[in-house]
Amino acid sequence: MSDTAPADETRPTVGRPGHVEAAAHPEALSERVVAVVVTYNREQLLAQCLDGLAAQDRRPDAVVVIDNASTDASGRVADEHPLGADVVHLHRNVGGAGGFAAGIARALVRHDADWVWVMDDDTVPRPGALAALLEALGSSPVRLSVLSSRAVWTDGRDHPMNTQRTRLGASSREKRDAARAGGRPIRTASYVSALLNGQDVRRLGLPHADYFIWSDDFEHTGRLLRHGRGLQVPSSVVEHRTARFGNAQTSPGSRFYYDVRNRLWALLRTDSFSPLERVLHGGRTALGWLGVLARHRGDVAGVGLRGVLAALRRGPRPSAAVLAADGEAAADVRAIERAAGR
């Protein structure tokens, strides 16, 4: 489907087939869930991701694929997959951050999503992944803003790129509430399978498209969870099929620029984190950067310095401006951001 075609919400291939266990609050299973996948030049992995969505015990009600101006067959794979996704072919590559901003906005504006299930194209959800998230949602005694899956590598080990810490300072009651829903409380989440509350995104806005890659999910889920509740659900499992087992700082290369700039943007130019959290996250981040410099000093020192200077010079541009080459996507983003007062 082209990026100018109207959303088709009556496709018989996207619905709610299959049996799932009953939740404590069965209405959670009837929430309208729209999956958003962002892809760039990963045709084989994208096919596996879409196969995984099609094999869900409880399928998403619609699927949006953002093709980030791929130069391989990723766009064709998305168009021709029997899942029947709403495929948006962007005219230029705006990175994962821009793709998620466009995709989440489209899910809310054109598919009326109650919840948006976001993932990269190298994420392959196991059959019960979405059902487990919704079962946890239905079992939670408190309102939730973000739920996330357990991300594993191809050999079943927990993926270090998607490690989520238990929320610092969570009260015993918060931990009990999370345990009742089968999870643990979290403060931020990775976009490698995160279920976002559509009401909260409409109220607080979209991820910043100008981040391009890295830390867009850290800032955005941090914003949603500053005053909201988040839950990591270990029974919801997805495979993060990266080429290598490691975190984002294992071999950052030129991308270290985005790591530095974006983390500074998130900590210094947003209110997604409290002053204490800024200090704690900043200290942990600085230690991580020192480790990167120790391992790759000659390769990344100049790159990191450019990131620092860029972060100090200006903040992220409005997401609609980043997506200006794609009028329909920019209009969707603008509609959500204006409603959120951003």
pLDDT digits (tens, 9 = 90+) for 56-96: 999 999 999 999 999 999 999 999 999 999 999 999 999 99
Count of domains for the chain: 1
Query: Count of CB atoms within 10 A of residue 9's CB?
Result: 14
Judge whether 217 lies within some domain: yes
Q: Rounded to whole angstroms, how far apart are CA atoms 264 and 262?
A: 5
* Helix or strand holding residue 328 (H, E): helix 327-339
The answer, yes or no, to whether residue 4 has pLDDT greater than 50, is: no
What is the pLDDT, as a whole number, of residue 253?
81
Sequence-separated (6 or more) residues with CB below 8 Å from residue 4: 328
Q: Which residue has the higher pLDDT, 246 or 162?
A: 162
Spatial contact of 148 and 194, defined as CB atoms under 8 Å apart: yes
Judge whether 123 lies within some domain: yes
Q: Rounded to whole angstroms, how far apart are CA atoms 57 and 87?
A: 23
The mean pLDDT of 104-121, rounded to a whole number, is: 98
What is the pLDDT, as a whole number, of residue 292?
86
What is the pLDDT, as a whole number, of residue 100?
98
Q: Rounded to whole angstroms, how far apart are CA atoms 303 and 310?
A: 11
> In the structure, what pLDDT confidence band is assigned to residue 249 with cuts at 50, 70 and 90?
low
Judge whether 81 lies within some domain: yes
The mean pLDDT of 227-252, rounded to a whole number, is: 86
What is the pLDDT, as a whole number, of residue 192?
95
301-334: per-residue pLDDT in tens? 999 999 999 999 999 999 999 999 999 999 999 9
What is the pLDDT, as a whole number, of residue 77?
98
Judge whether 164 lies within some domain: yes
What is the pLDDT, as a whole number, of residue 7?
38
Q: Which domain holds residue 146?
A: 26-248+315-339
The mean pLDDT of 252-276, rounded to a whole number, is: 94
Q: Rounded to whole angstroms, how far apart are CA atoms 220 and 213?
A: 13
Spatial contact of 94 and 162, defined as CB atoms under 8 Å apart: no
Q: Residue 191 maps to which CATH number?
A: 3.90.550.60
* Alpha-carbon Rg for the chain in angstroms: 19
Residue type, 51: D
Query: Hey, CA dihedral for 320, 190, 106, 203, is it positive or negative?
Result: negative
Share the mean pLDDT of the chain: 90
What is the pLDDT, as a whole number, of residue 13?
39
Q: How remote is the C-alpha of 289 from its chain's centroid? A: 23
List % helix, strand, coil for the chain (3-state, nearest 5): 45, 15, 40
144-202: per-residue pLDDT in tens? 999 999 999 999 898 988 888 889 899 999 999 999 999 999 999 999 999 999 999 99
Judge whether 115 lies within some domain: yes
Judge whether 45 lies within some domain: yes
Judge whether 143 lies within some domain: yes
What is the pLDDT, as a whole number, of residue 27?
67
pLDDT above 70 covers what percent of the chain? 89
Least Cα distance to 199 among 136, 141, 143, 148 occurs for 143
What is the pLDDT, as a whole number, of residue 5?
38
Determine the length of the chain. Answer: 342
Q: Rounded to whole angstroms, how far apart are CA atoms 53 and 127?
A: 8
Q: Which residue has the higher pLDDT, 25 or 41?
A: 41
The answer, yes or no, to whether residue 247 has pLDDT greater than 90, is: no
Q: Rounded to whole angstroms, how far apart are CA atoms 255 and 95?
A: 12
Judge whether 171 lies within some domain: yes
What is the pLDDT, as a whole number, of residue 130?
98
